[in-house]
Structure 1
């Protein structure tokens, strides 16, 4: 069974909190944000970087996001929107759609040290606080928590290297590599203006095969 994937259309109802999570030889950092998802309290863990200077986060923070998918999202019901096993927008795939066309280059995150001043933590903290203050609709894409209400893996979810990340045919339990399951955070800042946050790690390679694994000729995103 594939990991449960989709997006929540929600309101932010609290301040972001930076938390760390040891993962092997590195520590990854997330901004945890409380969401009001159709009246239910959810948590979202937004990836903002790592202390591993050999596998930094790559990100795009776009304040003039334009794409036809906006119309579909704006018309979606508030709350949990399930997209597991869908192979077309509004499910997200950075490699198999034109979602990121015109969004500029990827930037490297600062090596994380647990401070709120490093990028993209500082910029995302400001944007999330603005969303809470102004009551913007926020669209968080990723994998739903297996236990409790929330979303994580808000980054590209394909192209990870290493045997432990391999998606094997007939076995969908692995939650690292898959197609049409990329994560992101989108903000409706006004009726006709949107912002977006997109992320991937340096060790994630493209292109990917039909299972989301790197191909023999895969290379870093840029």
Structure 2
């Protein structure tokens, strides 16, 4: 059973704020940092949590931040109406899968994030804050891919690669009790900066491994990005 996944086409309505939260399982001593901001999603106010790094030198973020993003999926997204698009169980673009689609073609190498200490000056947080501020001031459409909040709150999180993790994230068929791996559920941020310019942000953690199997779990011999 898969987790609720998709994207929202929205407008940024608040300044991004950096927040830290403790991990769990073997990552309980790690602080993961997210940029939160408010979104207008077809008239509804949503929250978004964009992963930007950790304070753990063994589990840093790898990211791609591309300001000349070119891919045919942008045409599909631009043509769609504002709001929530549920892509749960979809096995093709616009659902994202870093291994099974060509979404990363032409985006260059992965970059290493800095070790986060709560400062907004560390990359990629610093550049993303400027990008989101630009989108807000110019009223640009933003597209956030990830998993939807549960429990009645409106929001989207897990905006990073959502496959290839170990430990408690292993996906066991028929078990939907944890925040597990899956295929075609990777996260990301795309921003329409005005034709033909688009920006894109993709992220994964050092301890996530590829390739993965049909459940999104690492295969034998899988390696870090």
| Short-chain TM bin | over 0.9
Cα distance in 2, alignment partners of residues 182 and 52 from structure 1 = 22
Structure 1 residue 159 corresponds to structure 2 residue 156: no
Which residue does 1:35 correspond to in 2?
A: 39
Structure 1 residue 207 corresponds to structure 2 residue 214: no
Which residue does 1:62 correspond to in 2?
A: 66
CA shift at 1:77, angstroms?
A: 1.4
Which residue does 2:13 correspond to in 1?
A: 13
Cα distance in 2, alignment partners of residues 183 and 218 from structure 1 = 20
Q: Deviations over 1:46-93 (max 9, x none)?
A: 000000001100000000101111111111110100000000000000
Which residue does 2:144 correspond to in 1?
A: 140
Counterpart of 1:150 (choices 139, 155, 163) is 155
What secondary structure sits across from 2:143 in the alignment?
Answer: strand
CA shift at 1:169, angstroms?
A: 1.6
Counterpart of 1:177 (choices 181, 185, 188) is 181
Which residue does 2:194 correspond to in 1?
A: 190
After TM superposition, the score normalised by the length of structure 1 is: 0.97
What secondary structure sits across from 1:65 in the alignment?
Answer: coil
Mark the runs of 5 or more structure 1 residues left unpaired by the alignment: none
Counterpart of 2:98 (choices 89, 94, 98) is 94
After TM superposition, the score normalised by the length of structure 2 is: 0.96
CA shift at 1:176, angstroms?
A: 2.8
Mark the runs of 5 or more structure 2 residues left unpaired by the alignment: none
Counterpart of 1:77 (choices 68, 77, 81) is 81
Which residue does 1:131 correspond to in 2?
A: 135
Cα distance in 2, alignment partners of residues 206 and 143 from structure 1 = 20
CA shift at 1:192, angstroms?
A: 1.7
Cα distance in 2, alignment partners of residues 153 and 35 from structure 1 = 16
Report the number of matched residues: 220
Which residue does 1:4 correspond to in 2?
A: 4
CA shift at 1:8, angstroms?
A: 0.3
What secondary structure sits across from 1:44 in the alignment?
Answer: strand
Cα distance in 1, alignment partners of residues 178 and 103 from structure 2 = 25
CA shift at 1:2, angstroms?
A: 1.9
